[in-house]
Amino acid sequence: MTADEIHEVHAPPSTASVALHVYGGPLFDFPRHSWTGPPLAEEPIDDAAYLDRYLDDLRADESLDE
């Protein structure tokens, strides 16, 4: 894919999924966006919020000891 290409990934909520992204440059030096919805809306990626949500999900599944 080119550096400016947009792609979408969909995983049903009942199915576990894993993603592997390979970047060939300074990832955090460029603004990144994600799309949420519906309806689809573009928003800047907030890495700290993603980490918090991930940890909350792990705690909810009792996969992470506090």
Q: How many secondary structure helices (H) and strands (E) does the chain include?
A: 1, 2
Report the percent of the chain where pLDDT is more than 70.
Answer: 86
Q: Three-state SS string across 17-55, please? A: CCCCCCCCCCHHHCCCEEEECCCCEEEECCHHHHHHHHH
Q: Does residue 48 carry a pLDDT above 80?
A: yes
Residue pLDDT, tens place only, 9-26 = 777 777 777 777 777 777
Q: Which two tokens stand for residue 4?
A: 């400016």
